[in-house]
Structure 1
Amino acid sequence: MASRLPASPVVLPGLLPAALSLPLRGLTVLAVEDSRFASEALRLMCQRSGARLRRAESLAVAAAHLGIYRPDLVIVDLGLPDGRGEDLISGLSRTGGPVVLGTSADSDGRLRAMRAGAAGYLGKPLPDLAGFQAAVLAHLCDRHLRGAPGSGGGNGAVEPDPLALCDDLRLAEARLQIAPTAQATRDWLRGFLSGLALQCGDEALKSAAEAVSRNGDPNRIRAILNEKIRQMPAFRPPGPGFGSAGQSLV
C-alpha cells in the first residue's frame, strides 16, 4: 500500500505535457546526509525531476529543519556523525509524517532501514535518475498523475561537483585527526568512506574504508585521504573567482 502524500495541484489539460516531464514536480525533499558529495547527487536528481531538496548533515540539524517545515519526503542516511539514522526513521514513521526512505552503503542497510519503519530504501551507490525517480514514485499516492521514471532530464547518471567530494575527504581527515582511536569515530568513518568509495567507484577510498574496518594505523588512513585530495583536479590554492567549497548546496 503506497504511503500517503498531499495530492499534487490539479493539472490543467494544456499543462499536462510539461508536468509529466517533471515526475516529482512540487515535492519538497529533506536529505539527512553527512556526505556533501552524495547530497549533491541527490540535489541534481531532484532538480531534474522537479523537486526541491534541502540538506541536513546530522540528526540535530534534521530536528531543526523538521521543527520549522514539513517535507513531503525524507531520505535518511543510516550512519550519521551524531547518531543512528534508524532512530530518526523510527520516530518519523510513528508519527505518520512524510514518506521516509533509508540509504546506506552497508550490506545490511536495507534490512535495518525497513525494520526501523522506512517506506523504501536507496542503496549506495545511488541509482541513476530513472532509478531514483522510480524509487520515489513507488510511494506517492498521486503517482498516476505523474510522468514515468526517466521522463524528466533523461535517465543517466549525474555528476556531482568534485569540490563536494574534496570537502568530504577533508571532513573525514579532520575527524580522524581529532579522535583517531575512538570507536564512534571509526564506526562513522567506515560507513562514510564506504559510501564515498561506492559512489565514486574509487579503489583508494575503498582501501581506506577497509583499513578503518581492520583498525588500521590512523596515520596510514590519513595518508590515503591526503593523497587522494592532492591528486584531485579541483585541489588548488584559492585564487580570484575561486568558489568556496563550503557553500550551501541548496
Structure 2
Amino acid sequence: MTGLDSLAPQRAPNAQRPLLGMTVLAVEDSRYASEALRLMCLRSGARIRRADCLASARRHLQVYRPSAVIVDLGLPDGRGEELIAELDRATPRVGVILATSGDAGAEARARSAGADGLLLKPVASLGIFQQEVLRHVPADRRPLGPYVVQDDRINPDPLAYRDDLEHVQSLLSHDRSPDILIYAAQFLASVARAANDAVLADAASGLAGHCPEAGIARVSGLIATRLAQQEAM
C-alpha cells in the first residue's frame, strides 16, 4: 500500500485552504452527493477519489492510503459500518474516518464501528464539512492560527442528480426484490432531500412498504417527469 501523502510535496494548510495536502477517499454511491464532496474538497485544498461501493473502496485501499475516508453507511453491496470497522482495525490507521448518513440516529452505529464522527446528509455547508474533518486531523496538519469558517452553500451540478434518478429508474426496471426496494428507498430519499426535491423524497418511502407496487408506480412517474423536464431544458 502506498501513502499518497508521502509521494507528493507536503504543502502547509492555510486559512483559505485548510485541508491543503490531504487526500480523501469518498465511498459514496450517489453521484449528486459525491459531486458535493468533490466541490468541498476542491474549495478546501484536498484531493479526492471516489468509490461507489465497498468492493471498489477496498480496491482503492489496496493501492494507496488516503488521509481521510468518508463512508456512506448505505451502500449497494453492504453496510458502510463494515468498511469503517476494517479501517479502524488497520495498521497504520487512516487518520480520519467519517461516516455519512441522512439518519441522525446513525451516529452511534458509526462510532461503535470505529468512525471518528458523522457528516449528516445532506452535506451542503462548506464550513461544517471543513470543521468536522479538521476536528480529527493531527495538530501539525491543521492551519497555523485562526482560519475563516466558510459558511458557503455547495450546489452540485443538476446533471449529477439526473444520473442518480436514472440509477433508481434502472434499478426499478430490472429488480424489484425486497432488498433492492429497501436500498432504492433510502438512496432516493437521501438524494432527493439533498436536491431539495421534497415530493420525490416523500414518495421514496412508498417503495419499501407492504404493497410497494403503488409506490413504485408513483416514484417511476415522478422520475420520468423530472428526466423529461431536464431533457427539455
Task: Assess same fold via TM > 0.5.
Answer: yes
Deviates more, 1:29-38 or 1:105-114: 105-114
Kept in 1: contact 2:124–2:154 (CA 8 A): no
Q: Which amino acid in 2 is paired with 1:58?
A: C
- Structure 1: any 5+ residue segments left out of the alignment? 12-17, 238-250
Is 2:32 the counterpart of 1:32?
Answer: no
Residue 166 (str. 1) matches residue 162 (str. 2): yes
Map of 1:226 onto structure 2: 224
Native 8 Å contact 1:208 1:225 kept in 2: no
Gaps of 5+ in 2: none
- Equivalences for 1:47-66 in 2 at 5 Å? 47-66=42-61
**Partner residue in 2 for 1:202:** 197
Q: C-alpha separation between the residues in 1 aligned to 2:145 and 2:220?
A: 46
Specify the alignment match of 2:72 in structure 1: 77
Deviation (angstroms), 1:150: 4.4
Q: Secondary structure at the match of 2:24?
A: strand
After superposition, give the CA deviation of every residue in 1:122-157 in whole Å (9 maximum; x if it has no partner): 011114001100000000112553465645xx4211
> In the TM superposition, what are the counterparts of 1:73-222 in structure 2 within 5 Å?
73-96=68-91, 97-98=93-94, 99-142=96-139, 144-146=142-144, 148=146, 150=148, 154-180=150-176, 182-215=177-210, 216-217=212-213, 218-222=216-220
Letter matched to residue 223 of structure 1: G
Quick one: percent identity of the two aligned structures?
Answer: 43
Structure 1 contact 28–71 (Cα < 8 Å) conserved: yes
> Aligned AA for 2:202?
S
Structure 1 SS opposite 2:156? coil
Which residue of 15, 25, 37 maps to 1:42? Answer: 37
Contact 2:11 2:21 in 1 (8 A): no
Q: Which has the higher helix share?
A: 2
Q: Secondary structure at the match of 1:30?
A: strand
For the Cα contact (< 8 Å) 1:129–1:150, is it kept in 2? Answer: no
Distance in 2 between the 1:148 and 1:203 partners?
Answer: 38
Residue 109 of structure 1: how far off its partner (Å): 1.8
> Cα RMSD (Å) of the superposition?
2.2
Residue type at the aligned position of 1:62: A
Residues 23 and 147, structure 1, Cα contact 8 Å, conserved in 2: no
Compare relative contact order (CA 8 Å, sep 6+) and give the higher one, 1 or 2: 1
The letter of the residue matching 1:37 is: Y
